[in-house]
Amino acid sequence: MVLEIRNLSFGYNKKRLLYNNFNLEMKRGEVISIVGESGSGKSTLFELISNNLKPLDGNIKRGKIAWVFQDPYSSFHPSFTIINQIKDVASLDGLNELALEMSITKELLYQTPNRLSGGELQRCSILRALLMKPDLILCDEPTSALDNVIQLDVMKILIKYLDRVGILLITHDIDLANWVSDKIISID
């Protein structure tokens, strides 16, 4: 198991719970999508899984986590090169092979984020996440800022590495969720 949630209850207001006895099990090789309207609690679930918020009740067991965020420009510091920001959080073991597979050139790695396109930078986010050697990758709308062709490329890259990780995906794109997911959870 890369993630096990048992009887999770949480709400910012105890009279209006976002989650009441919520359960979820996830294993390596699995993609589970969380869909729902804005404000329904999708990102809150990720904050609970990351231990940034404490549940009112229940427990969460998880392996090592990495994140891929919606806006790749906000997930990298603008003043430092991509390679330095990867080195800050991950081992560089396997960097060259993984970068090559993801069409990330050495030149790109030595650029600052503002020199890269959104698609290039999102691929670098995925590269950084994979080099962290997580059990679980939390993907918060990782393709919503990208055009359709790049969205498809980014998701193909992510699912290519399912032998290493489980992926929990937040998305508003039901077509994407239907295409990529083993299971879809709708949060109302």
Q: What's phi and psi for 104, nearest 5 deg?
A: -105, 115
For the segment 90-108, what is each residue's pLDDT rounded down to a tens digit? 999 999 999 998 889 999 9
33-71 tens-digit pLDDT: 999 888 889 999 999 999 999 999 999 999 999 999 988
How big is the CA angle at 88 (ends 123 and 90), to the nearest 5 degrees?
60
**Token couple for 4:** 């096990």
pLDDT in tens, 13-30: 888 899 999 999 999 999
In this predicted structure, the answer to whether residue 117 has a pLDDT above a threshold of 80 is yes
The average pLDDT across 169-179 equals: 91
* pTM, rounded to two decimals: 0.92
Helices 148-160 and 118-131 meet at what angle, rounded to 10? Answer: 10
Q: Considering Cα of 67, then 73, then 76, then 77, what sign does the dihedral take?
A: negative
Domains of the chain (ranges, CATH numbers): 3-187 (3.40.50.300)
Q: What is the mean pLDDT of residues 4-9?
A: 98
